[in-house]
Amino acid sequence: MNFELKQVPHRSAKPRSAGVTMAMDKGLSAREAEDFISVAGAYTDLIKLGWATSYVTGDLDRKIAVYQQAGIPFYFGGTLFEAFLIRNQLDDYKRLMEKHKVGFVEISDGSIDMEEKDKLKYIREFAQNFTVLSEVGSKDANKVLAPYQWVEKMKQELEAGAWKVITEAREGGNVGVFQSSGEVKGGLIEEILHNIPKEKILWEAPKKEQQVFFIKALGNEVNLGNISPNEVIPLETLRLGLRGDTFHLFL
Amino acid sequence: MNFELKQVPHRSAKPRSAGVTMAMDKGLSAREAEDFISVAGAYTDLIKLGWATSYVTGDLDRKIAVYQQAGIPFYFGGTLFEAFLIRNQLDDYKRLMEKHKVGFVEISDGSIDMEEKDKLKYIREFAQNFTVLSEVGSKDANKVLAPYQWVEKMKQELEAGAWKVITEAREGGNVGVFQSSGEVKGGLIEEILHNIPKEKILWEAPKKEQQVFFIKALGNEVNLGNISPNEVIPLETLRLGLRGDTFHLFL
Amino acid sequence: MNFELKQVPHRSAKPRSAGVTMAMDKGLSAREAEDFISVAGAYTDLIKLGWATSYVTGDLDRKIAVYQQAGIPFYFGGTLFEAFLIRNQLDDYKRLMEKHKVGFVEISDGSIDMEEKDKLKYIREFAQNFTVLSEVGSKDANKVLAPYQWVEKMKQELEAGAWKVITEAREGGNVGVFQSSGEVKGGLIEEILHNIPKEKILWEAPKKEQQVFFIKALGNEVNLGNISPNEVIPLETLRLGLRGDTFHLFL
């Protein structure tokens, strides 16, 4: 911290399992990645190269080197896993991850239809060599899961070896546990939390109102993801009760 | 591309006439322009210095040098043409373009009232020395053109020598062929396409939903413009069927 | 300016008291601050390190050095004042400002309840050593002030020694003199202007439509704040009548 303030709530130290912030990089340059790390690296636990942007991003290796030098794990978005899978190229995907020494993998079915038993098989398989983030929820706003389905999938995927489950929200924060307007589906989230330990969930929550909701509901050490790189600092102030929305929460 | 994926749809090589991406720079620094080019230069065909931002942007010459060195043509927004025109300074405008070796010019009437015959005269005049992009549509949401007027203007302007016609949408994507909400006017677009060859149109489409609409309707080699520099990579993934919204489109 | 255009409206020279643009930096890196200054430094009069982001922003001293070398005053957001105040650490706050040679201070009650007489006391106290910007309005959309209350507070705070009063709008432009949709409360603003000299007010107006409203209502030398760094150039074109929205305003 840059100066002393009393009564600022506790934050776990890195590497942490609670209070995780996952940022989504959708095409930063190597220099922009350096800039991002220089201001917010201390508060960023994981960096996702959003969906399949890594396929086209120029100068990718140099950016990856920036993240690796900073000691911040990065991983490829779940859509890339699905793109390799649907093309019968999963072996190529594993080789790609090995080449870049990627330790985390996202197993998702946000854009494809997959039987849950197959998803669980992939989770088990990848969990042998990678830390698995499994994602629940579709990118298609019309494919709505019932609360019991959320819970069932999350339970099974954690049992299959997922380190944490992610709730799909997209870059826009407009599907899954959110309405298309971005509003939070409170009842659904309550149902999920009644059944799944909160530290095992990473909530994609790109919008400030969503972040505020989760911090108010689950405390400042809630795991949040799909945070735009330039929103990691604002999010950290929310976690510390140093922005209007959470100013009185920890006093 | 950074790795091998099968069944990724074809993209024309640069310089291309179809599948063009025009990015809008509204005040990047020279270094930010370098960053942009380093990740997305391969997918950027044209760069517009938005409206008259070039008048005030500091360190402009250095940025222009970055774009020129990268071999990506840039041009001044149509509002700048209109600003020179309404001040009777068109000769100054030509000198400015010559000074910067600008090869493209946008002839528009988004902010001023101009008789179509005068616009056609300017198109003919500028087409002698520049590649002309003529723009149809007003920046004023209250000035709505009937479908037949869109078609008529486009036809005449192409005949007068425009390389392509642009459909005005502004930075916000909220006028012209879009509702003020950003929603696409599907019927209008159908009417236009019934009459004008699609490769002759460059659709301003700053919002993701608009880009998805055009890619679904016209294929991945549709010409799209007013793309924010940090959205060129996301757009390219849409064109390649590597984002949720177009994932199944080319499989 | 980068080239000659006739009939462009006058802008005061720096340091100016009217036509002030206050930009909000919510976590730029030192290099991003350099980039911002290189394109828009000439049009930026004040830089606010938004709310308490300065507490967590990495590499802060280097960024501050960039702003100081550019000769552009920066100051800490009002929420930081409130965070120190509520912790009984105002002396620490003064020391922090002295350490960084900060000349401006924002005295606000956007997140805390404060009696107006106490606020006036702080304004008087800080005005002895700092240029005071006092802010009126709550960050809480439910705490609405009546027009006469806006006027009364503004009058008293200016009399107590505030250089200018700021109208609270947040980063989102959705409280205070704006509806939660961002729409302008025109009647309220008229009431304020009937009673307070316009050059004494700095309007937080992060959204383009809000900036356009104020430029149309109060002229191009209106004081505007909470401008995102990459929106300073677009705002300057609005002030100069070189964007569609204000194109005819000064001709």
Query: CA dihedral defined by A194, A196, A201, A203, rounded to 10 degrees?
Result: -30
- Which residues of chain B are within 8 Å of residue A168 when distances are taken between CB atoms? none
pLDDT at C161: 98
Rounded to a whole number, what is the distance in angstroms from the first to the last CA of chain C?
18
Min distance B96 CA to chain C CA atoms (Å): 8
- Which residues of chain C are within 8 Å of residue B140 when distances are taken between CB atoms? 244
Min distance B58 CA to chain C CA atoms (Å): 4
* pLDDT tens, residue by residue, B169-205: 999 999 999 999 999 999 999 999 999 999 999 999 9
Nearest to A7 among C51, C57, C87 (CB): C87
- A189, amino acid identity: I
H or E element that contains B133 = strand B131-136
User: What is the band of A87 on the pLDDT scale with cuts at 50, 70, 90?
Assistant: very high
- B59 contacts C38? CB cut-off 8 A: yes
Min distance C158 CA to chain B CA atoms (Å): 33
Could you give the C-alpha distances from B167 to B136, B181, C157, in angstroms and in order?
Answer: 5, 17, 50
Nearest to A54 among B2, B230, B248 (CB): B2
- A26 contacts B230? CB cut-off 8 A: yes
- A232 contacts C57? CB cut-off 8 A: no
The pLDDT > 90 percentage for chain A reads: 100
- A244 contacts C139? CB cut-off 8 A: yes
In total, how many domains does chain B have?
1
**Residue linked to tokens 């149309």:** C216
Q: How far apart are CA C251 and CA C249, in angstroms?
A: 6
Min distance C53 CA to chain A CA atoms (Å): 6
Q: Mean pLDDT for chain A?
A: 97
pLDDT at A48: 98
How many CB pairs below 8 Å do chains B and C form together? 92
How many CB pairs below 8 Å do chains A and C form together? 92
Alpha helices in C44-185 (DSSP H): 53-56, 60-69, 78-86, 90-99, 116-127, 147-159
Q: Contact, C43 vs C232, CB < 8 A?
A: yes
- Best residue in C28, C29, C96 for a mutation probing chain A (most A CBs within 10 Å): C29
Report ipTM for this prediction: 0.97
pLDDT at A108: 97
* pLDDT tens, residue by residue, A30-72: 999 999 999 999 999 999 999 999 999 999 999 999 999 999 9
Residue of B nearest to A89 (CA): B5
- C5 contacts B56? CB cut-off 8 A: no
Min distance A87 CA to chain C CA atoms (Å): 40
* pLDDT tens, residue by residue, A174-233: 999 999 999 999 999 999 999 999 999 999 999 999 999 999 999 999 999 999 999 999
- Residue A4 covered by a domain: no
- A29 contacts B35? CB cut-off 8 A: yes
Chain A residues bordering chain C (beta-carbon distance below 8 Å): 1-7, 31, 34-36, 38-43, 208, 230, 232-234, 236-237, 240, 242-245, 247-248, 251
Residue of B nearest to A57 (CA): B39
Sign of the alpha-carbon dihedral angle for C154, C158, C160, C166: positive
Angle at CA B91, nearest 5°, toward B121 and C246? 80
- Which residues of chain C are within 8 Å of residue A7 when distances are taken between CB atoms? 87
pLDDT at A138: 94
H or E element that contains A199 = none
- C54 contacts A242? CB cut-off 8 A: no
CATH of the domain at B164: 3.20.20.70
* pLDDT tens, residue by residue, C37-55: 999 999 999 999 999 999 9
Could you give the C-alpha distances from B232 to A65, B206, B228, B236, in angstroms and in order?
Answer: 23, 10, 7, 6
pLDDT tens, per residue, chain B with 251 residues: 999 999 999 999 999 999 999 999 999 999 999 999 999 999 999 999 999 999 999 999 999 999 999 999 999 999 999 999 999 999 999 999 999 999 999 999 999 999 999 999 999 999 999 999 999 999 999 999 999 999 999 999 999 999 999 999 999 999 999 999 999 999 999 999 999 999 999 999 999 999 999 999 999 999 999 999 999 999 999 999 999 999 999 99
| A101 phi-psi bin (left φ>0, alpha ψ -120 to 50, beta other) | left
Strand C164-167's sheet: what is its strand order?
C74-76, C46-49, C21-25, C224-227, C201-204, C164-167, C131-136, C104-107
Q: Mean pLDDT for chain C?
A: 97
pLDDT at B69: 98
For residue A159, what are the contacts with CB-CB under 8 A and spacing of at least 6?
Answer: none
Q: Mean pLDDT for chain B?
A: 97
pLDDT, mean of residues C93-108? 98
pLDDT at A236: 98
Q: How far apart are CA C83 and CA C85, in angstroms?
A: 6
Full-model pTM: 0.98
Min distance A16 CA to chain B CA atoms (Å): 30
Rounded to a whole number, what is the distance in angstroms from the first to the last CA of chain A?
18
Q: How far apart are CA B46 and CA A128, in angstroms?
A: 46
- A29 contacts B36? CB cut-off 8 A: yes
- Which residues of chain B are within 8 Å of residue A170 when distances are taken between CB atoms? 244
Min distance B147 CA to chain C CA atoms (Å): 23
- Residue B146 covered by a domain: yes
Q: Contact, B135 vs B153, CB < 8 A?
A: no
- Which residues of chain B are within 8 Å of residue A110 when distances are taken between CB atoms? 244
pLDDT at C31: 98
Nearest to A96 among B3, B36, B39 (CB): B3
pLDDT at B175: 94
pLDDT at B170: 94
Q: Which residues span the domain enclosing A196?
A: 21-246
- Residue B7 covered by a domain: no
